[in-house]
Structure 1
Amino acid sequence: MATYIGTANSVPDLLRGVIYFLTDSTNFGAGNEWKLVEPATVDDISTECILKGIGDGQDDIYLGFQLASRGVDQIDIVLNGYAGYDAGLTWREQPGGISHATLPTIPLVRDTFMTYWVSATTKRIIIVVELSTQYESAYIGLMNPVAIERQYPYPLVIGGSAYEGIAWTSTTWEHSYFANPGGSASATSLRIRRPDGDWRVGLNYNGNNLAPLSPLCVWPTNVAPVRAVTIYDPVLTLENVIMYPFLLYESLPVGTIGQLDGIYWVGNREDLATKDSISYGGKIYKIFNNVQRRDNDQYFAVEWV
């Protein structure tokens, strides 16, 4: 795993900084770095790019990033994932890409100072961006499936903190990170590629009556209206922080299908603050919150070192 903290004064600079880090062989070992498939060089990135990862060495993981203007003050980093690459096709037309009308995004301000964090392996990338007092984030790459490789050969996850058309200033559940996605049955911040190649929309219960019947949800953030797993210790310390893995589960068919890699739900966190580091199980984690939310169950921990 490799980690990086960077700064940028514009969204294009931020995207190029992330891609520079991911394609640097010194961060992952020679031959293990992410490859820039399109365009030819990082400096050539103006509006879109496609990366290829090797996973465990036997995979071909294709991820897409696109810059899209939304009004006068917003630029989205639009996210996509593919099953292959064809130089003759456009960014949205690539083989196996998400076919929905709207895609997950990282909504950002056009020209402002931003700090960003990247935690990456050869199979997945986690990005968190500090935007004023809120935190936009993304998970792109493979999850850890509850299956053997032949049963779930390409468990690709594309998640942001909003989807196309949502303003960075929005305080509704349409603007909520991938581990607690809100929206409608057709558009949220989270998409999962199923074994048959179909893309499924993830939707948690966030005041939306559709969510309990959603084909895909995330646990433990989807426990409303009953907080079934939020267990608080009356004496809170850094040592008794509760961490749960984010599990992806389906209702059609019923069952848990996988776990997000390198990121965890955090409980007992009243004495923690965003950007704090905690040590748990011999590893260091960075703490962030869900966009602008500061409720006790809206924090997550990203594996750092």
Structure 2
Amino acid sequence: MPEWLNITIRSVAAVLYLFLLTRVIGKRQLSQITFFEYIVGITIGSIAGFIATDMDGPVLHGFLALTIFALFPVLIGWLQLKSKTIRNVVDGNATVLIKDGKILEDNLKKERITTEELMEQLRMKNAFKVADVEFAVMEPNGSVSVLLKSENQPLTPKHLGLSVAPVKEPQAVIMDGVIMDEPLATIGFNRKWLKTELEKQGVALENVFLGQVDDNGQLFLDLYDDKIQVPAPQTVKLTYATLKKCQADLELYALSAQNEETKNMYELEASRLKKVVENVTPLMTR
């Protein structure tokens, strides 16, 4: 067999076997590797290269070595599930870097982090002043988690005592000018509805790069031509404004009514509509 063909077969076989091993090891090897897994990954790559180019050694020996090294992360992962001590040894522990707005210099030295590196990590978490940080910790994977002090955290509806309805995942109903029937059916609409919405906005289907429908049934469009600005849907806002106007009109009618029975009727309807508006406000003002 020609040497080039032998190398080709060995290389393809090594790549396919590596792919199989990575599936066995799991996705964590790709998304969040530990130091141990990093070392094993480098070694596996070296062995795979050796399998492809070493013409003298038996190829099965190389595959055996690959298998043994690949099974180490699987075994260690299983042991980590059983023992916290092993987790601490393999992954390490989190290290507190800032507490109550004060940098813990000894912990910085322990993790060999400079002040500039710490400030960079804080800026990446939108924390530009150390005094604004309540707590910062270096995770075992090397990332820095930051908790801002209460007065420096962004306001949320919960802080204001407001109830907000849960938001469902928007559905992409148009991609590259093609209607996606399955997402459209998932939110309870059809092609006729979609074409009507496109006509309302004066947009042709073939000009749409991406179309999304939120859980309020509003269609948002992104066109191929970035110079064309498509107005944001106003259906929900207009409906909410109409309800508020009707409530105000009923209250005004109640104030201007001369007949007591008519006055009471308007007041009652205004009160009912007010309750309706209060119930739908979290849905229509988010």
Task: Give the shorter-chain TM-score range.
Answer: under 0.3
Larger Rg: 2
Q: Which has the higher contact order (CA 8 A, sep 6+)?
A: 1
Structure whose residues are more often helix by fraction: 2
